[in-house]
A and B are shown apart, each in its own frame.
Chain A
Amino acid sequence: MRPVVLPRVLALSLIAVLVVGAAPPGEPAEKVTVAIGGVALIVYLPTMLAKAKGYFAEEGLDVEILDIKGGGSQAASALIGGSVDFSANAIDHAIKASTRGKALIAVHSHVRLPVMGLVVANKYRGEIKSIADLRGRPVGVTSPGSQTHMVLGFLLAKSGLKADEVKIVGAGGNTMPLALEKDSVHAGMMVDPFFTAFLKQGKGYALVDMFTTRGTLEAMGGEVQGTTLLTRPDVIAKRPAIVQKMVNALVRANKLIVASSGEELARALPRELAGDPALYAESFEHAREAFPPDSLVSRDGVARVIETMRVFDAVPAGMKLAPESVFDNRFVQKALGRK
């Protein structure tokens, strides 16, 4: 009898381990790749936090995050080309791709505001008091064609300036502070942590602050969809379970974000992402309103982004583009339990 009992005990204990252990019983973690253009930027916090907190792992996903040096456009290119399954990206990239016949779908809203600001170097305090005063001056964007470029174009157009009345310089995200200090540009579109740090050091002032709901409404005249999680239609069609798991983890991350303080978040992130924890906390508190508790992509917000992109013909004049064609809220709704 003995030789029979032992395997049975072993088998039982093995099953017990499997049931108690990993959440999805039996299945090994599925590999998923996500491209991000600059992981330290605060707009990517939901993905980075979900990774750091192990939310993806608990959904049974083995998420590998690829930090693409060329920025958001390159990350989206990697997604279009099929090198990755997802990219955390400004919705702009889905819209641009759609004008060229490639569909990318936003399945989760990371932030619901642009989360950027227009900063002017201190020495022009007396001269630049409104956007209209930028006429004829060099103004920095992170790179030509990026979201900062499109939003700046929209701001200029709203103030009655034509796009070619301002010298738009691709000055890089992390090099923008230096470009301002060295007078290569008189003003620049800044993202965080650079915006907060630059203002804190007293080197400039914000002409437009789109880290807050109020600032965004004033500057843009309405909602603006920010960074989202993008994927391809074929991923949604062939691997819907993975998309759902990704979104589940991200919805959870956004809930944690809105319930946390900046200090708590800075502590939860790996050191290389949080940088200076005090600065990170401050930067987060400033941008707090940008994180949507419900994670839903906003239709009006997407529509406004499409309008901003018409300024530079990034969406060609006359081309009809339905906001609904670039996002899909079903996964978030399911994660929220609303169906």
Chain B
Amino acid sequence: MATSGIDTVSRAEIRLWRLGLLAAFLVLWETATRRGWMDPFFVSQPTALAGQIAGWIRTGFIFRHLAVTLQETIIGFLLGTLLGIVVGLLFARWETLARIFDPLMVALNAMPRVVLAPLFILWFGLGLLSKVVMVISLVFFVVFFSTYTGIREVDRDLVNNARILGARPRHLIRHVLLPSALTWIFSSLRTSVGFALIGAVVGEYLGSHEGMGWVISYAESMFNATGVLAGLLVLMAAVIVIDVGLKRLDARFSYWKPIAK
């Protein structure tokens, strides 16, 4: 608190600033489209967006599609995370494995998966599976690299001390390595939630019969900019809710943190 002598803006004031800026942005947007400075055909307008979202909620239309997208996102996210942690752990424990597969991992990660999406749809069909695979392909690498780095960053002395005290490899993993890497893993999870949703939506966008990607693609082909932006806003809200949840989880699980250096 006392660290900053110059910047004495309180939290309430910051919040006020944020709300004020948001309100100013919305008012400007609305005015610009009403006065004809900008064409609502291309950029929609806040009142139209609010109306669209309210309509979707009233008819329940959006919940069905959001549920489909979240299902794909969550299944893919959990599997991708699990796979990322397991492979990251294996690589961190067996150096040889890491040395053999390192170029492959880097190469695979460099591949633009969004472009691969049409292929996933051909291989895994138009249903849930292709979207889940898409999400896994995006989430896996983020979690894998974080886990790998996280475990390798664990204090050598700590590991050696635990060994001297008689810790077996599996004890080591459970009580020392994983807890220390948890901070890394959690920070990567919050990044990868966004990726997971992108994966699901892109998959739906390219081939599906339901989900937010379908909603957005349909609105787009109807030249309905309001529908597209409203769909994006709904997705944004979903990501924020998930992110807050993960933040809470992070706070609960990372009670045990090694003191850095």
Contacts and interface: CB of A to CB of B under 8 A. Distances in A.
A314 B42 CA distance: 18
Contacts of B125: 182-184
A167 B64 CA distance: 14
Given A100-B41, A144-B214, A175-B121, A168 B209 contact: yes
Range for the number of chain A residues in contact with chain B: 20 to 34
A212 B220 CA distance: 31
Taking each of B42, B214, B223, which has the highest tally of chain A beta carbons within 10 Å of its own beta carbon?
Answer: B223
A314 B218 CA distance: 10
B207 to A, nearest CB: 6
A143 B221 contact: yes
A80 interface: yes
Interface string A72-93: 0100110011000000000001
Contact of B222 (A167, A182, A314): A314
Contacts of A178: 122
Contact of A138 (B41, B206, B209, B217): B209
Contact of B217 (A76, A145, A182): A145
Interface in B219-253: 219-224
B114 to A, nearest CB: 14
A149 B221 CA distance: 11
B223 A167 contact: no
Contacts of B214: 144, 170
A93 B220 CA distance: 12
A171 interface: yes
Contacts of B209: 138, 167-170
Contacts of A126: none
A185 B221 contact: no
Chain B, interface SS category = helix
A247 B208 CA distance: 38
Nearest to A138: B209
B126 interface: yes
A97 B214 CA distance: 20
Contacts of B207: 169-172, 175, 179
B217 A102 contact: no
Taking each of A97, A144, A170, A179, which has the highest tally of chain B beta carbons within 10 Å of its own beta carbon?
Answer: A144
A165 B217 CA distance: 20
Contact of B126 (A76, A102, A145, A179): A179
Contacts of B41: 80, 100-102
Nearest to A183: B125
A183 B126 CA distance: 9
A183 B125 CA distance: 8
Nearest to B219: A145
A122 interface: no
A255 B217 CA distance: 37
A97 B208 contact: no
A170 B122 CA distance: 13
Interface string A174-212: 010011001111000000000000000000000000000
9 contacts: A76-B223, A80-B223, A101-B41, A138-B209, A145-B219, A170-B209, A171-B207, A184-B125, A185-B126
Given A138-B126, A167-B210, A170-B214, 14 more contacts: A73-B221, A100-B41, A100-B222, A100-B223, A101-B41, A143-B221, A144-B218, A145-B218, A145-B220, A168-B209, A171-B126, A171-B207, A178-B122, A182-B122
Interface of A: 73, 76-77, 80-81, 93, 96-97, 100-102, 138, 143-146, 167-172, 175, 178-179, 182-185, 314
**A-B pairs with lowest CB-CB distance, top 10:** A145-B221, A144-B218, A73-B221, A184-B126, A169-B209, A167-B209, A184-B125, A145-B218, A145-B222, A100-B223
